[in-house]
Structure formats: structure tokens, C-alpha cells
Structure 1
């Protein structure tokens, strides 16, 4: 008689997002229970790790949590799990958080704060949405693709500033003239500007008084368009580029950036639109030039991870205004990129607490800005426990995963050769009353 195969026992110590997403992957395979028996041992009464949340029943069931309230639109793996999870639960359509798009809503506006002349000024960014859904994976872009997209963004920011700052008729005349001086492949872009100018000039007027247009802007705009045209004519595969190509490309961009600074340096502290335009363009161009000059296209992002990000930006000529800007501060804050959690140094101008590897954050930032689906952020419509961990718990439990709460790890004993964990000693933090077979961590709050 053939020996019956016994499933391997998997003890999962802690129910954070790493544990639960791993279990979700294992249990997504057909007949997984033939191979494994999975038990999650959780300290205390709730899953979620840093994303755990609860309800304070003595304070009108107020949500209490410390997890993030948004996910970025490029989190394809996370959204794939949540979409599959909500689909499996098949909640009644009219119940709260019935489907994943009830639990997560796209957000296209987010707010930064600038500290200028001893006061805080609000900076609202309204980013375009698209028709894609996070969780639908597709082939990732190359670094060269990102660079060209960043160039298009620089051109768009510069163009928007022109229409806000100067008389629209003069700007149109300028653009019409410049089109005749550049490669025809840019003509479509400028024609698109002409079509949309009427709506832009009426709906996005600045309260700051417009000034006469400067004739010498032909020089700066020509440098920018020249850089864009140069990049478009290089091979799509950056492996076929030469170092000399990248030097020429970087030189054009640096000439444009130097020209722009000379034009705007007198008003960056007093004119909000000009300052923000400068920060965004300096930020983007510095990163493009730094990537080109450090050979990141050939060596990979890891080649600059020995630099702290602010140090790297400074090395490549970013202004202090840009390095200390809300754009940089927002990225540091979003990933908790500080030594020992000391979140200061931006208003004070002190860089010593910043702790982010340049390659890691630049790669992540490019994904964040250029590959989001639907919207830059998707906001949870309840707590993270209710939108993420409750569905995961219900789904995994229905699949056959066991959960034991109030279990504390007492000891992990190694094997004789010290290469494996030989035994796990667990303690009980609480004992259930005799009438309860298992602990139920969920309560119903208005249908959630």
C-alpha cells in the first residue's frame, strides 16, 4: 500500500502584509492543501502589522490606526491581490466595500506645503488620470523611456508657465515662430498647444499680474527643444548609445537650465508660479543629467546607491531650493527616509537626518510618476484593517488557512548544525472561554 502523503506544516509567525501576501500566493495554487497546512500565529488580537487598525467602541467606534491611507497607482502586485481577494468574497453589491473599487478611490489632487519667507504656502498639484486599472500588469518601461517622458514633462511645465506668466497672444506668436525653427516632429505638440490655449487662458489664469513677453526666450526654448529632438533621434535601445551621445545631450539640458535660472532667479521667492516651475524643471533636469553623467543607463541604478539622495542631487548641481523643496520632502516622508525616524531638516536646511539611497529612490520615483494606473494615488475609503486586512483574513480563512490569535513567540531553537529552525515555542496571551471554539477578531460597524 502506498504511503499517504502528509502535507507540510507551515507556521507563519505574525500576520503583517508580507506574511499574508505570501500565504495568498501559496494558496492561489490549485489543490494547495495537498501539500501544505498553514497556520498563522498572531500576537494580540489583530492582523496587519504596521497596517493594523481597530475601532474604539467607547468613542463612537472611531477608527484607530497608524497605517498608510493611500496606495500608489503603480502598486500592481498589491492591487492584483486585493482585486482577486474581493472577487472571491463575492460580497452583496449594496453592502459597504462590496468591491475593490468601493474600497479604493482614485485621487488626482494632492497638497504640498512650502515654507517661504517664514510662512507656509499651500501648493496643490492636480495630476491627470488615465483609463488603466492598477493590478493589470504590463511590460515595464526602460530607463531611456523614462528619460524621454521626463523631458516631455519639462516641456509641458515650461509651456504652462509661459501661458500663466505672459500674455497668451504673445506666447502663441512666439510658439508659432519657434515651430518654424525646429524639427517637424515637434510640430504636432505645438499645434496641440494652439488648440487648447483658449481653455487654458480662461480657466488657469494666475492672480499674479502678467508681464510682457521676453524676446530672448527663443534661446532657452530652442535649447530645450533641441535637447528633446536630440534624444528622439538616438536609438530606442540605450545600449547602442555612446558616452559622447550622453555628454552632448546633458550639455544641451544644462545650457537650458543655466539660461532659465538667469531668467527667473530674481523672482523665485516672490512669484509662486515661477518658483514652482523652477523647482519642477530643476528637479527633473538634474535627475536626467545625473543619470546620463553617472552612466546609470549602462551600469544600473545600484551604481549610485552609495550616494544619499540629497547628496547626489547636490553633486549634479540641483539648487538648494530644489533639494529642500516639498517635492523632495514629500518623497522622503512617503518612505520614512530618515535616520532613526528624525523627520526634520527641511525647514532647518539640515541634511544630516536624510537617509535614502539615490538609486533606490530615483527608480521608485520614476515608477511612481510615469507608470501609475488610474491615478497617482488610490485612497482607502475606510481603515487599512477594513479595506486590506479584513478581506485578506476572510479570503484566506475561506481557503483553509488557520489563524491563532493571542500567541506569543517564546523561543526559536536551532537545529544541531545551526542551519535551520528546529522548534518553535509559543505561549498563550489569553485563554478563550469554554463556549468559544475560536477567537473572532471582527465586529460589524454600519455594515463594514
Structure 2
């Protein structure tokens, strides 16, 4: 009698980077290979999905074909973990082109979007800060280091908001010279900026307390007083900003961009607290259009 346990059959549809990562993780040890029988179904012969490419020799040049330039955002932690292990196991000889993952992938911190403003198109350049290790070296994803927690991201956004309000206050102050139309908006904005600076410490303290309660497991699943306090303040802040500043945002492209960033950040934070994502999963909001809270 055969006592060998029957393997569980797993079918993966498509051969993109997510599919390849799933197949790799399900077969990455003798124990896993004994447990799972994995089959990948892919249309055609080329694996890789949007990350697939090949080279064709044309006039002595190895021209890349298919998708051309590929950009993987740094949040593809599992995919980069797969790539790291592949490069380590290959252990190509010195002098081989693209011998290591650091030779094959280069950090890209700049993104450019096109923006329509006052009947003209403008390039909006975003320069994202590099993620560095404790020695100041650029960190490559895929090492499975502990990623920043939910509260770290919220805290960073709140801190950015404080600086963004300061930038907008400075811009309005410059524009207000000789422009009576925005005197009232600037006065209100300056007062609001000062209030935010005065209360930001309190907001962050409440956030820290809420984070500690949740991490200790002492926070109630239902929103607490701290939770509701931050939620109310964020809504008040966004509503007042929209009401008072909307008539001035077309005076300057930089001011308009700051307005977009502040509004988007506040809407993001409001959604986290509204749907209590500290306890609920992302599936709770998966069916919503992002504009539902805009």
C-alpha cells in the first residue's frame, strides 16, 4: 500500500511576474515540492507577462523587443525576492553581463506626469526619496526586511501635510502682493496653517496612542474616541480647505499642485479612518472607486 501523501494540484493561470512568483514560492523547497503539484498555463511560449522581453541581433546590436523599458515599483517585494534568489543560485562568473541583480536593475526615483492647466500641458516631475539602509546605501527590494507599518505611513503623510501647508502659505503670501482677490483667502490660509502647526503635535500624539493600543490588542474593534477625534479633524480640515481656497488655486500652477497633493492626502487619510482599516482588510474597500470619498 502506498502511504505517500497525495500532492495537492495547483493551477496558475498566466505567466506574469505574479504568477511566476507564486509558482516559485510554492515549489521553493523539497517539502513544498512534495506537497504541491503546480502547473502554469500560459498563452504562447513567452513567460513574464508585461515584464517579458527578448533580444534580436540587428546589425550587430542586441535590440530589445516586445515591451521595451520595464519599471517595477519598489513595492514588488515578493517578485524581487524571487529575482534575488534566481541571481544568487545562478552565481554567474565575473565578467558576465548583468551578473548580479544590482547590474540588471537600476533605481528609478523620478516619474513625470502630464498635467493640463490653463489650456496648456505641463510636465509634473515627481522625485521620490530613495530608501536607504543604515549605512546610507540604496536599498534594493526583495530582502524581506520589515516594511514600514500602517501608522508610519500615516505619520509621514501628516508630517508632509504640515510642510505642504507651510509651502502654500508662503506662495499665497507672495501672490497676495498686489492681488486683492486673494487677500481674504491668504488670511484664512495663514490662520489655518498656524492652527495646523499648533495642533500637529496633538494629532501625532493621538495617533501614537492609537497605534500602541492596536499593537497591544487593547483597542476596541469599534472606532475609539481617539480614532473619531482624528477622523473629525481630518474632515474639518479638508472641507475648510476646499471651501476657502478653491477660488485661488488657478492663480499659480505650483499652488494648484500643492492643493491636489493636500486634498489627495487628506482624502486618503479620511478613508483609512472612515472604513477603520486598522481592523478591516483592504477587501472592505476593494469594490469602491477611489473617488467615492473625494
- Shorter-chain TM-score bucket reads 0.7 to 0.9
How far has the Cα of 1:129 moved from its partner?
Answer: 0.9
Q: Does 1:154 align with 2:174?
A: no
Q: Name the CA distance, whole Å, in 2 between partners of 1:254 and 1:118.
A: 32
Q: How many residues align?
A: 271
- Cα distance in 1, alignment partners of residues 250 and 278 from structure 2: 35
What does the per-residue CA deviation read over 1:352-402, in whole Å, with 9 as the maximum and x for residues that have no partner? xxxxxxxxxxxxxxxxxxxxxxxxxxxxxxxxxxxxxxxxxxxxxxxxxxx
Structure number with higher relative contact order (C-alpha < 8 Å, ≥ 6 residues apart): 1
The 5 Å alignment of 1:148-227 reads 148-163=155-170, 166=173, 211=177, 217-225=189-197, 226-227=199-200
- Distance, in Å, in 1 between the alignment partners of 2:279 and 2:39 is 45
CA RMSD of superposed structures (Å): 3.9
- Give the match for residue 17 of structure 1: 17
Post-superposition Cα deviations, 1:50-98, rounded to whole Å, max 9, x if no partner, equal: 4332334468553222487111112211111111111111123333211
Task: Kindly indicate whether the alpha-carbon contact (under 8 Å) linking 1:112 and 1:124 is maintained by their aligned counterparts in 2.
Answer: yes
CA contact (8 A) 2:210 2:226 kept: no
- Cα distance in 2 for partners of 1:115, 1:24 equals 44
> How is 1:33-432 mapped onto 2 (pairs within 5 angstroms)?
44-57=44-57, 61-66=62-67, 69-131=70-132, 132-163=139-170, 166=173, 211=177, 217-225=189-197, 226-233=199-206, 234-236=209-211, 237-238=213-214, 239=219, 242-261=223-242, 264-310=245-291, 312-313=292-293, 318=294
Long gaps (5+) in structure 2: 133-138
Q: Tell me how far 1:280 sits from its aligned partner.
A: 0.5
Matched residue SS, 1:112? strand
The answer on whether the counterparts of 1:250 and 1:293 sit within 8 Å (CA) in structure 2 is yes
Contact 2:188–2:244 (Cα < 8 Å) also in 1? no
Counterpart secondary structure, 1:71: coil
State the shift of 1:19 in Å.
4.4
User: Structure 1 or 2: larger helix share?
Assistant: 2
User: Structure 1 stretches of 5 or more lacking a match?
Assistant: 168-208, 319-448
1:151-193 CA-partner distances (Å, limit 9, x unpaired): 11211222344455656xxxxxxxxxxxxxxxxxxxxxxxxxx
In the alignment, what sits opposite 1:203? none
Q: What TM-score do you get using the length of structure 2 for normalisation?
A: 0.73
SS in structure 2 of the partner of residue 280 of structure 1:
helix
Deviation readout 1:115-165 (Å, 9 max, x if unpaired) = 223321110011211213311224455544432222112112223444556
Per-residue CA distance 1:4-62 (angstroms, 9 max, x = gap): 97997989776443443234234431487777887877654422234332334468553
CA distance in 2, matches of 1:294, 1:144: 15
Would the alpha carbon gap of residues 280 and 130 (structure 1) be closer, same or farther in structure 2, given more than 3 Å must change? same
Larger radius of gyration: 1
Greater shift, 71-80 or 92-101, is seen at 92-101
- Write out per-residue CA displacement over residues 195-222 of structure 1, whole angstroms, 9 at most, x where no aligned residue: xxxxxxxxxxxxxx78599565552024
Given the superposition, is the C-alpha separation of residues 271 and 28 from structure 1 closer, same or farther in structure 2, using an over 3 Å criterion? same
Which whole-Å CA distance do the structure 1 matches of 2:271 and 2:32 have between them? 48
Q: Matched residues in 1 for 2:2 and 2:283: separation?
A: 50
